[in-house]
């Protein structure tokens, strides 16, 4: 047997590996684990959720709001572990679409429809999160200006949408390492700005004067806790972002599963802290996400946290959507030109095809309806589409394990329980005790993607079956006996 030193010095040729990856052109293995974690956290937007969800939670769940957060976190963690079943075995840029495509027979109609539906719900979800994030940034810029006494024109939110969107577009057409570093810095700054006043409420008693005039949270009935769970699930959507950059992450089969679970835990901790602070300060002390303590510094500070959090979320959601469109183009579902990759490793056409329409749609909607109305409806629609994409993925887990001959009881039982929980959450969105605008948004998150499914089916049904769900594979450059490692 040859020693390790001999093998390194004169490696045995490895002809069984491919000479190039199906995702060649991307900056493979260039992202650090912390960059992938930053993307998943930013896509979940814990800062934005921490600013907006506590008032709604206290309204529905009262003093048991923290129970609703724990239950929603448990469901999200279960889903993260199921996604990890796929992420430990393959890496790529198509996330849940790739996982479902690898679980079913895409040469037959049922498998194709299930795969197209997953892609459509992911497209709707991340597109609507992009709309939410851009509109949210516009809302909080206006709030920040008002809190420091500056005049606020109705054009401020629209201008912010355009500025943030164009800034994201400029970053996305360059190397992903740059946009990931920016995403990490912006999201970290947002969390720091948010948690300083939150910890001040919890540890220093800030805002107690505001709480004296606020009604104490009441004890909620089980239906109120259930409604709180439905609301809080929206805080965790997007944790799967890391699976869109698996091909570009170092040691993806180890890194991505860990990042998925870690991002859920980070979001859960932030939500628990903000909800506990809301309980301590009193329900009336939180209005549309900004602590209303007149004369204090934390109103502009939290508005700044909202700006940073929504900006990072916009960058993360557009990154994910561009990678999804890249894989769809590689698979022949979208035109091949959408899959063009620049020398810097950016899928520039996919970036433009996704970012420009979202930017135009958001700017027009904000101009017509105002930023907060857009945030409210788009968030509900995105949550609905996300939940259905996760539901299809949970159903696909046993199919995938059977296909590769690794069926075991734990993931199969976990997929059944998680699928039932997700179905209950979605039914709660469309038929439960939610606001009419939330219910409308939930149906938008269903009808829009279904129209995409019908369109996609008309495109692909006459074509011969192809390989759907392309993912990254080791190449001769990645192993001893091949060429020098690529970046």
DSSP 36-56: HHHHHHHHH-HHHHHHHHHHH
Mean of the per-residue pLDDT values for the chain?
A: 83
Over residues 112-118, the mean pLDDT reads 92
181: pLDDT strictly greater than 60: yes
Q: Higher confidence at residue 204 or residue 136?
A: 136
Q: What is the pLDDT of residue 289?
A: 38
Q: Exposure string (b/e) for 447-457, b if CB count within 10 Å is 16 or more?
A: ebbeebbeebe
Over residues 365-389, the mean pLDDT reads 91
Indicate the SS3 state at residue 31.
Answer: strand
d(CA 179, CA 239): 18
Give the global pTM.
Answer: 0.88
Over residues 189-212, the mean pLDDT reads 72
Q: What is the DSSP letter of 428?
A: H
**Range with the poorest average pLDDT among 59-68, 149-158, 215-224, 353-362:** 215-224
Among 85, 70, 97, smallest CA distance to 236 is for 70
Look at residue 270 and tell me if it is in a domain: yes
Q: Give residue 270's Cα distance to chain centre.
A: 16
> The CATH number of the domain where 398 resides is what?
1.20.1740.10
d(CA 215, CA 218): 9
Residue 9 pLDDT class (50, 70, 90 cuts): low
Look at residue 19 and tell me if it is in a domain: no
Q: What is the pLDDT of residue 208?
A: 54
Look at residue 14 and tell me if it is in a domain: no
Q: What is the pLDDT of residue 213?
A: 45
Q: How many domains does the chain have?
A: 1
Task: Domain of residue 269: give its range.
Answer: 30-469
Instruction: Work out the percent of the chain whose per-residue pLDDT is above 70.
Output: 84
290: pLDDT strictly greater than 70: no
Strand partners, 18: 475
Look at residue 437 and tell me if it is in a domain: yes
Q: Give residue 107's Cα distance to chain centre.
A: 29
d(CA 197, CA 306): 13
Look at residue 85 and tell me if it is in a domain: yes
Q: Exposure string (b/e) for 200-213, b if CB count within 10 Å is 16 or more?
A: bbbeeebbeebbee
Look at residue 10 and tell me if it is in a domain: no
Residue 16 pLDDT class (50, 70, 90 cuts): low
d(CA 404, CA 417): 22
Q: What is the pLDDT of residue 76?
A: 93
Look at residue 98 and tell me if it is in a domain: yes
Residue 487 pLDDT class (50, 70, 90 cuts): very low
Look at residue 20 and tell me if it is in a domain: no
Q: What is the pLDDT of residue 207?
A: 55
Alpha-helical segments (H) within 331-408? 348-369, 371-404
């Amino acid at each position: 047997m040859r020693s390790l030193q001999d093998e390194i010095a004169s490696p045995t040729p490895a002809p069984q590996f491919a000479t190039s990856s199906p995702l060649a052109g991307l900056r493979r293995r260039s992202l650090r684990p912390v960059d992938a974690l930053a993307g998943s956290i930013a896509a979940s937007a814990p800062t934005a959720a921490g600013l907006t969800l506590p008032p709604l939670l206290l309204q529905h769940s009262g003093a048991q709001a923290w129970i609703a957060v724990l239950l929603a976190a448990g469901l999200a963690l279960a889903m993260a572990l199921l996604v990890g079943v796929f992420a430990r075995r393959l890496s790529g840029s198509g996330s849940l679409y790739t996982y479902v495509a690898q679980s079913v027979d895409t040469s037959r109609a049922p498998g194709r429809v299930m795969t197209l539906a997953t892609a459509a719900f992911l497209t709707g979800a991340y597109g609507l999160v992009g709309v939410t994030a851009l509109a949210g940034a516009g809302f909080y810029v206006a709030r920040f200006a008002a809190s420091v006494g500056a005049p606020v024109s109705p054009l401020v939110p629209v201008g912010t949408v355009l500025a943030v969107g164009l800034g994201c577009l400029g970053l996305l057409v360059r190397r992903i390492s740059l946009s990931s570093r920016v995403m990490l810095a912006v999201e970290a700054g947002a969390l720091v700005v948010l948690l300083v006043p939150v910890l001040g409420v919890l540890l220093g008693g800030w805002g107690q004067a505001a709480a004296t005039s606020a009604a104490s949270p009441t004890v909620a009935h089980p239906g109120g806790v259930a409604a709180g769970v439905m609301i809080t699930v929206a805080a965790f959507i997007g944790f799967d972002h890391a699976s869109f950059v698996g091909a570009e992450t170092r040691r993806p089969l180890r890194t991505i599963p860990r990042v998925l679970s870690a991002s859920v835990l980070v979001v859960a901790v932030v939500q628990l802290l903000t909800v506990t602070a809301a309980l301590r300060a009193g329900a009336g002390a939180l209005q549309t996400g900004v602590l209303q303590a007149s004369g204090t510094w934390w109103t502009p500070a939290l508005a700044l946290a909202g700006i940073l959090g929504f900006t990072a979320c916009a960058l993360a959601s557009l990154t994910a959507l561009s990678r999804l469109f890249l894989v769809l183009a590689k698979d022949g579902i979208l035109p091949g030109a959408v899959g063009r990759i620049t020398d810097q490793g950016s899928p520039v056409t996919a970036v433009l095809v996704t970012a420009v329409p979202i930017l135009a749609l958001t700017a027009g909607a904000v101009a017509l309806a105002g930023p907060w109305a857009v945030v409210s409806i788009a968030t509900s629609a995105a949550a609905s589409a996300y939940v259905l994409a996760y539901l299809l993925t949970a159903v696909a887990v046993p199919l995938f394990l059977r296909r590769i001959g690794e069926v075991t009881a734990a993931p199969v039982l976990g997929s059944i329980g998680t699928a039932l929980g997700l179905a209950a959450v979605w039914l709660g969105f469309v038929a439960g005790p939610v606001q009419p605008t939330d219910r409308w948004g939930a149906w938008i998150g269903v009808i829009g993607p279904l129209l995409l499914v019908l369109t996609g089916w008309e495109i692909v049904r006459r074509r011969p079956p192809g390989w759907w769900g392309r993912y990254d594979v080791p190449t001769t450059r990645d192993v001893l006996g091949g060429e020098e490692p690529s970046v």
